[in-house]
């Protein structure tokens, strides 16, 4: 079980790092979008806006994935407890 925890911890660390990188990308793109040279260039502005939307969508996907994993883990814990309760009650019967 210890190896499972370490794999989960590594995955969580990587997920946090990826989220931080995406936040940095969003901040940088937003800064670029506010520069005078980009404001005056429709093509550059459209390209940056598209990259910005992609980064924001990536963050939303990560949040949904993290949320569904948490829900799955919670459901698994409940199922495990139910199994333990059923096994305990069989010994009393």
Residue-wise pLDDT for 57-68, tens only, equals: 988 888 887 766
Interval 13-34: pLDDT, tens: 888 888 899 899 999 999 999 9
**Rounded to two decimals, what is the model's pTM?**
0.57
Phi, psi of 45 (to 5 degrees): -60, -45
| Tokens at 10, concatenated | 């590594």
Band (pLDDT 50/70/90 cuts) for residue 78 is confident
Q: What is the CA radius of gyration of the chain?
A: 22
């Amino acid at each position: 079980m210890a190896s499972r925890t370490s794999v989960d911890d590594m995955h969580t660390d990587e997920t946090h790092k990826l989220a931080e990188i995406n936040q940095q990308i969003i901040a940088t793109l937003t800064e670029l979008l506010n520069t005078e040279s980009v404001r005056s260039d429709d093509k550059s502005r459209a390209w940056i806006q598209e990259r910005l939307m992609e980064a924001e969508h990536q963050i939303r996907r990560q949040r949904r994935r993290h949320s569904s994993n948490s829900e799955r883990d919670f459901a698994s814990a409940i199922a495990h407890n139910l199994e333990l309760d059923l096994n305990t009650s069989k010994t009393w019967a």
